[in-house]
Structure 1
Amino acid sequence: MITSVNTPVQGQLSPTCHQPCHQRPDQHLSIWHYRRSGIYYLRVRPRGCSARSLTISLRSTDRQTAMQFSKDILKTLAVFHLDQPEASWDNLRERLKEIAEDALQGHSEDSRGLYMELYDQMSNHLAEATSLGRFNADQQRAIGTGQRVLRAAQERLGGRPEELTGIIGELSCGTSVAPSPSLSVLRSDEPMTFETLSGLYLAERTGNVTATTHKSVTSACRTLSGLLGDLNIKTHTRADMVALKEKVLEGRKPLTSNKLLTQLSTVMGWAVNNGYLDRSFDKGLKIEKGAESTRKPLTQDQVVKIMDHANDLAEDDWKRWALSIGALTGARIGEIYQLTKEDIKQVDDITVIDINKDENGGKTLKNSFSVRQVPLVDGAYGFSLEVFLEWIDANEGRLFKVKEHSFNKPLNEALRKPLGLASGGNQSFHSLRHSITGLMKAAVIPEGIAQAITGHSSGTITYDLYAGSQKLPVRTLHEALVKAFSLVKS
């Protein structure tokens, strides 16, 4: 399947291709969608020119899903002119300079937070694009510089414009910006272990992900490094990867094994895209059957029993209110633990829990989509908003003052107790999150509203990137939850 789109005039020849196609005033791109091993791919190149092209995995075997992702990712790449494989570094540098200069414009107090979130999301999408696609050296350089521009734009919003103005100066005079470490640091004939390779990957990712995510990725890479040992990853074979899979499967559940194999593919793909490896043989290792999550949602009868138990606890027992918040909002246990008195707010005369990120205050979230305000529905499962607010008034600072390990374990035990469940099973506090999602589905709540309540990404760049700063009204979320809880039989 081939289509064509117009692109802006490039202005000069590519340094690696001098074909006439780069000089036409009305440039066209040819776009291919094709399948390989069932997965859809997107390929873009200038029409009539075979020297330069861009290929990106669309990560789906479903045609409709793949086509939507293709459309979305082309829009994102277009912002930085990364959809133009024939663009030279000078072309890309000029576009980066324009973006950096635009980031210097003033913002109102209301819009400042929206732009901060937008820059964060754009940086994440650039990181995702580089992990999925095979970009040339100029494009990789532009992606790295673009991420630096976005971080500097956030610093500028925080009252620190020095880094952003410095980048604009560097881009104006044509010097390199945040150059990547030279690949000659490691000689081409020098062996490289996965431990060394993953160390390079982790060093580049520092600052682009949350501390929690970085810790998780580091742990996975450490496990993989131990299993691969001294293997020279530069000369690895398919047999080496199959042998690794067998080691990964030993003593691990399929879901855990797949997480490790996914991390392996992420690092190996990054290494190929950045010139550390010529190719990788890690594809197709994941387990297709039996890898579903073993977590089970709680039935509504079970949630009713849990809330009956919670409502019988003392009014000053923190477990009563932590269980209630979990059942009524589906918030993650870590999000609940971080709540402060100031996070219980009135918005449009509706009481909400404000789940926010404040790393200086010790608050961290899974991702930018986790930031949200979730209404509390009075009377749901017998919940008393009045008594809850009295407990809030009696507190200062953090609502849950015990150490985190003294919060998570007792809270899970308090959930299992009325159900007679043993620890270590497939139902836990996190199951409340699955349950409220299922309840909203049964109430035919639109997916976008449900995702706003649970703090999930929509999975499409159209909504997550271009409309990511637009939040649904609290009243809309409240009405959806009231409708969902109306299905609960007391």
Structure 2
Amino acid sequence: MKRWSPIVDKLIAQLGHDDATRISRADIVAWKDRLLEDGKSNITVRDVYLASTKATLQFAVDQGQLAENVAKDVKVRVREAPQERDRGFDGKEAATILSATLSQPSEKISIEMAAARRWVPWIGAYTGARVNEITPLRRRDIVFRDGIWMIRIRAENAKTRKFREVPLHSHLIEQGLLDYANSRGTQPLFYDPRRSRGGKDSNPHHKKVGERLAEWVRTLGIDERVAPNHGWRHRFSSVSRLVGMPEDVRNIIQGHAGAKAADSYGETWPLVALREIEKLPRYAVGKEA
């Protein structure tokens, strides 16, 4: 078996051979059980070890090198963790993070990472977009149409694999987001590809930016039960309900799949979305207060 990844290499070590045609479903189950016995979490075994193995074997099947994917139906039960609080940032946590974005950045971090700390939380707060939809943005993804500035989230970066355009809240524009975007020319807004250290398709540079942002947010003392990046997405939903944003509009803005989504598109869509986004109260923190 060709060594596709360190994870598959570990499977080979468990099996004692590298012949994919000799692997049985029982072998995969035994490996899964061994990983759990060694202390790997159920989620890690399911989403990392098994997922990688399934993908590798399925590729071999697709290429006609294997008759079947014996790992396809092997599962790991993952018990839902108790939810003791809301999954979004509360008002105090939001203010803490946004205040920190306005602090003088350390000289030890790159210009792009400093910009990611400065802008990504604010964009998330006012658009409800996923962090990994924001971190790949370039200047070309900030579009002006019908008198409205919007960010274009490209299909390749969206979880739904469908593009969408989200109007920018006036507070983002007033803070200078467009000026910063213009300063980047054709470069990504939040990373420099020239500094990439061999990023892989499974973990591209923009995802690494999101990971570092999450690590930074954790240093601010935010409740560990809230996902440091996804917390903005949940808060956007909560605040949207508070201001009476229609559910179908909120779903389209955030890129949720919905049966009524298509009905809300059309020539007036940017105006409708901007009207609803401007209902969101401004975050008054630090010098922005």
Q: Does TM, normalized by the shorter one, top 0.5?
A: yes
The root-mean-square deviation of aligned C-alpha atoms, in Å, is 4.8
- Structure 2: which amino acid aligns with 1:323? P
Q: Deviations over 1:368-410 (max 9, x none)?
A: 625322222124xxx5635333444555333345545995566
* 1:337 equivalent among 131, 135, 138: 135
Aligned: 1:240 with 2:36 = no
* 1:477 equivalent among 265, 268, 273: 273
Q: Deviations over 1:2-27 (max 9, x none)?
A: xxxxxxxxxxxxxxxxxxxxxxxxxx
Aligned-partner SS, 1:285: coil
Q: CA deviation at 1:243?
A: 0.9
Q: How many residues align?
A: 256
Tell me the distance in 2 between the aligned counterparts of 1:476 and 1:221: 49
Map residues 217-236 of structure 1 onto 2, 5 A cutoff.
221=8, 224-230=11-17, 234=21, 236=23
Q: CA deviation at 1:254?
A: 2.0
Aligned: 1:346 with 2:144 = yes
Tell me the distance in 2 between the aligned counterparts of 1:342 and 1:287: 43
Q: CA separation of 1:384/1:311 partners in 2, compared to 1, >3 Å: closer, same or farther?
A: farther
- Structure 2: which amino acid aligns with 1:415? V
Higher normalized strand content (fraction of residues): 1
Provide structure 1 residue ranges, at least 5 long, that are not aligned to the other structure: 1-194, 200-217, 358-363
Tell me the distance in 2 between the aligned counterparts of 1:432 and 1:449: 18
Structure with the greater alpha carbon radius of gyration: 1
Q: CA deviation at 1:475?
A: 2.6
Tell me the distance in 1 between the aligned counterparts of 2:168 and 2:39: 42
Tell me the distance in 1 between the aligned counterparts of 2:234 and 2:11: 30
Q: CA separation of 1:255/1:443 partners in 2, compared to 1, >3 Å: closer, same or farther?
A: farther
* 2:118 equivalent among 293, 316, 320: 320
* 1:436 equivalent among 213, 236, 249: 236
Alpha carbons 1:258, 1:291 under 8 Å: kept = no
User: What residue is the counterpart of 1:192 in the other structure?
Assistant: none
Tell me the distance in 1 between the aligned counterparts of 2:33 and 2:138: 46
- Higher RCO (CA-CA < 8 Å; seq separation 6+): 2
Alpha carbons 1:330, 1:434 under 8 Å: kept = yes
Q: CA separation of 1:226/1:334 partners in 2, compared to 1, >3 Å: closer, same or farther?
A: farther
Q: CA separation of 1:275/1:372 partners in 2, compared to 1, >3 Å: closer, same or farther?
A: same
Aligned-partner SS, 2:143: strand
Alpha carbons 2:28, 2:74 under 8 Å: kept = no
Tell me the distance in 2 between the aligned counterparts of 1:263 and 1:473: 40
* 2:221 equivalent among 406, 411, 420: 420
Provide structure 2 residue ranges, at least 5 long, that are not aligned to the other structure: 106-110, 196-204
User: What residue is the counterpart of 2:78 in the other structure?
Assistant: 288
- Structure 2: which amino acid aligns with 1:285? K
Tell me the distance in 1 between the aligned counterparts of 2:98 and 2:214: 13
Alpha carbons 1:265, 1:283 under 8 Å: kept = no
Aligned: 1:385 with 2:191 = no
- Structure 1: which amino acid aligns with 2:98? M
* 2:94 equivalent among 287, 303, 313: 303
Q: CA separation of 1:313/1:475 partners in 2, compared to 1, >3 Å: closer, same or farther?
A: farther
User: What residue is the counterpart of 2:201 in the other structure?
Assistant: none
Aligned-partner SS, 2:79: coil
Q: CA separation of 1:223/1:325 partners in 2, compared to 1, >3 Å: closer, same or farther?
A: farther
Alpha carbons 1:344, 1:351 under 8 Å: kept = yes
Q: Deviations over 1:122-175 (max 9, x none)?
A: xxxxxxxxxxxxxxxxxxxxxxxxxxxxxxxxxxxxxxxxxxxxxxxxxxxxxx
User: What residue is the counterpart of 2:202 in the other structure?
Assistant: none
Q: CA deviation at 1:480?
A: 3.8
Alpha carbons 2:88, 2:234 under 8 Å: kept = yes
Q: CA deviation at 1:289?
A: 1.4
Aligned-partner SS, 1:369: coil
Alpha carbons 1:327, 1:436 under 8 Å: kept = yes
Q: CA deviation at 1:443?
A: 6.0
- Structure 1: which amino acid aligns with 2:67? L
- Structure 1: which amino acid aligns with 2:271? R
Alpha carbons 2:138, 2:186 under 8 Å: kept = yes
- Structure 2: which amino acid aligns with 1:327? A
Q: CA deviation at 1:322?
A: 3.0
Aligned-partner SS, 2:144: strand
User: What residue is the counterpart of 1:277 in the other structure?
Assistant: 67
Q: CA separation of 1:219/1:348 partners in 2, compared to 1, >3 Å: closer, same or farther?
A: farther
User: What residue is the counterpart of 1:188 in the other structure?
Assistant: none
